[in-house]
Amino acid sequence: MDKHGAVVKQMNVAEWAAFLTGLYERDDRLELRQPGETYLPDETVDAYVFSAHAEAMQSAEVDGDVWGTLEDIEETASSEEEAWRKIVTFYQERGCLLVRITDADEREEWLVSEELAQRLNLV
C-alpha cells in the first residue's frame, strides 16, 4: 500500500521481466504459464502485449497516452505529472492495482484491474 492506502505492487526491473516472461496470451486473455505446458511463440507476452490488458500505463517501452487517458476519464491537468496522479487516483478508486517498477531509468507504472491482478497473482 502507498501512503494514501491504495494498493501498490512494487517490482524491480528483473522481477518485472520475469513476471512478463511467466505470462502467455491466448484468445486475448492473459494467463500464468504452467510448468510442463507448451506455449506457441505468438503467445509470448512483452510490455507491448501487456499494455493491451492494462487500464493505463506510464512506460518508457510503451506509449501510454497519458493525455488521451486523462481525457477519457474527463479530467484536466496542467502537467503530465499532475495528469498521471489523477489517472492513478481515478483507477485506484475503482479497485485497480498500481504496479510500480522501482529501479527503471524512467517512470514505469502500470494500472491493472483487480480481476486481472488476482488472476496473475499480483495481489
Buried b / exposed e over 100-119, threshold 16 CB at 10 Å, is bbeebeeebbbbbbeebbee
* Residue 32: per-residue pLDDT: 98
Residue 4: pLDDT over 50:
no
- The answer to whether the beta carbons of residues 88 and 111 sit under 8 Å apart is yes
Q: How many helices (H) and strands (E) does the chain have?
A: 5, 6
| Long-range Cβ contacts of 115-118 (<8 Å, 24+ apart) | 116/30, 116/53, 117/9
- pLDDT on residue 1: 54
Number of domains in the chain: 1
Does 78 map to a domain? Answer: yes
pLDDT digits (tens, 9 = 90+) for 96-109: 999 999 999 999 99
Q: Is residue 102 part of a domain?
A: yes
- Per residue in 70-80, pLDDT (tens digit) is 999 999 999 99
Domain that holds residue 72: 8-12+46-119
Does residue 23 form part of some domain? Answer: no
Cβ count near 4 (within 10 Å):
9
Looking at the domain assignment, is residue 27 inside a domain? no
109, containing H or E segment = strand 109-112
CB contact set of 15 (below 8 Å; sequence gap of 6+): none
Say whether pLDDT at 5 is over 80: no
Q: Rounded to two decimals, what is the model's pTM?
A: 0.90
85: pLDDT confidence band, cut at 50, 70 and 90?
Answer: very high
Separation CA 117–CA 9 (nearest Å): 10
Biggest CA-to-CA distance, the chain: 51
**Does residue 37 form part of some domain?**
no
Per-chain mean pLDDT for the chain:
94
Residue 24 covered by a domain: no
pLDDT in tens, 10-43: 999 999 999 999 999 999 999 999 999 999 999 9
Domain presence at residue 25: no
In this structure, is residue 98 part of a structural domain? Answer: yes
